Amino acid sequence: MMKSKETYTMTREQFLGTWVRDNNFGLENQALSQTKIKSVRAYLLPKALFVRVESDSGAVGWGEASNKFPKTTIELIINEMAPRLKGKRPFDTEPIWNHLFFKAIDSGPNGIMLGAMAGIDYALWDLKGKLLNLPVYQLLGGPYDQTIKVYGSFGRGTKNPMTPKACAEKALDFVKKGYKAVKIRMQIRQLNINPRPDPSFETVKAIRDAIGYDIPLFFDANNGYSPYRAVQVGKELYEKYNIASMEEPIAEHNYAALAQVASELQVPVTAGEHEYTRWMFRDLITIGKVDIINPDFFKSGGVTEGRKIAALASSFDIPVMCHNVRPTLATAAAYHIISSIHNAAEFQEFGGERREWDLQKYFKNNLELKEGQIKLSDEPGFGLVPNEEKIVRDAQKFE
């Protein structure tokens, strides 16, 4: 049935209103597209290195860089990278990342350089979200889920390793706090490879006795075994105590041996916290034959490279369970990536129970953990609001 002409009638005032509205939108878009980076600053705190990028419109984005070697990292950010960023468009994260990685800095493809690039890349994505008034997970095409399920993670320590009883109490404490999964980091290699007697069996048994068998228990060997021993240990821990995965059973980067271990174990093998770029993850997946990857996007140069790593894993149907030890900006950034991908693992790591926890005081709001879950906010960028006054007061500033 044909519609009546009245359906299409528009008054002159309505037409002009539409024209003004649409052209204002176009002008706003044009202004955004011409936004330029005005300044880059770095703030070094005792346990963190934050990066602040300001646009010529006054909008500010914040990121977190690696603080492992702070003097070198700051040198890279302020003296090498910042001059190349000023005057660039903050929306151009792809060409900026590739320029820094391939052309600008000849200091190797891993480690310190990518840790510095992460701080800048995170800040640019945060800035883009604030300019567009959108959370980063929406810029990435998400979310699949704004609620991130996290596991409680703890290590035995190396100076005075925790006893099996103490480990069991710690695991049970996580469960009582509402965590639905737990990870024990055995830190074996830092003490002695292939230890005899091996504390893993008694420790895992004590944890299982405390939390039961319904809670997923992730086991991190921290590169503590040779290939043959990793197979022996992995089989026994899986068959007797139903561990949910065995993380980094042998030395990182020994991909051929890792494939051998993975092929002989029924328990899923996880690795990836010591890999950096998509090319390293390509080899980890195709040569190392792992079942789960746990990239640390903080080490991978930020969101721009992190999303490529996740996409690579998705082409092999491999879940992404991010490695994460930072409780503020880097955690929020990692979870925005996780929220936007379809191959996210059921649980992600949360660094909030570690010694860096007190960094939360430098933010006016924080990621809220409730019953083992973190819900990402609808606020623009990564959703965190730094307390700039406190940061400036307590930090060394570099620009």
The angle at the Cα of 370, spanning 365 to 376, to the nearest 5 degrees, equals 50
Peptide bond into 83 cis (omega under 30): no
pLDDT for 15 equals 42
Q: Are residues 198 and 101 in the same domain?
A: no
Give the contacts of 385 (CB within 8 A, at least 6 positions apart).
363, 364, 365, 379
Domain count, the chain: 2
Q: Are residues 274 and 240 in the same domain?
A: yes
CATH number at residue 359: 3.20.20.120
Give the SS3 label for residue 49. strand
Which among 179, 176, 178 is positioned nearest to 153, based on CA atoms? 179
Residue 8, domain member (yes or no) = no
Helices H, strands E: what count in the chain? 14, 13
Residue 308, domain member (yes or no) = yes
Treating both helix axes as pointing N-terminal to C-terminal, what angle do 329-339 and 112-132 enclose, rounded to 10 degrees? Answer: 70
Amino acid at 251: A
Q: Are residues 113 and 254 in the same domain?
A: no
Instruction: Dump the DSSP string for 325-376.
Output: --SSHHHHHHHHHHHT-TTB-S-EE--TTSGGGGGGGGBSS-PPEETTEEEP
- Classify residue 287 by its DSSP letter: T
pLDDT for 11 equals 56
Q: What is the largest CA-CA distance in the chain?
A: 88
Q: Are residues 166 and 233 in the same domain?
A: yes
Q: Are residues 346 and 220 in the same domain?
A: yes
Q: For each of the chain's 399 residues, which pLDDT tens digit applies?
A: 444 444 445 554 454 454 444 445 454 666 788 899 999 999 999 889 999 999 999 999 999 999 889 999 999 999 999 999 999 999 999 999 999 998 766 667 778 999 999 999 999 999 999 999 999 999 999 999 999 999 999 999 988 999 999 999 999 999 999 999 999 999 987 778 999 999 999 999 999 999 999 999 999 999 999 999 999 999 999 999 999 999 999 999 999 999 999 999 999 999 999 999 999 999 999 999 999 999 999 999 999 999 999 999 999 999 999 998 888 999 999 999 999 999 999 999 987 677 666 788 999 999 989 999 999 999 999 999 999 999 999 998 777
167 vs 89: CA distance, rounded Å: 50
68 vs 47: CA distance, rounded Å: 9
Give the SS3 label for residue 60. strand
State which residues form the domain around 80. 37-134+389-398
Report whether 288 contacts 263 (CB < 8 A).
no
Residue 5, domain member (yes or no) = no
Q: Are residues 306 and 174 in the same domain?
A: yes
Residue 41: phi and psi, rounded to 5, are -130, 155
Q: Are residues 331 and 225 in the same domain?
A: yes
Report whether 222 contacts 200 (CB < 8 A).
no
Treating both helix axes as pointing N-terminal to C-terminal, what angle do 164-176 and 199-211 enclose, rounded to 10 degrees? Answer: 30
Which among 336, 287, 291, 308 is positioned nearest to 128, based on CA atoms? 336
The residue behind tokens 């086991």 is 219
Q: Where are the beta strands (DSSP E) in the chain?
A: 37-45, 48-55, 60-65, 147-155, 182-185, 217-220, 245-247, 269-271, 292-293, 348-349, 369-370, 373-375, 396-398
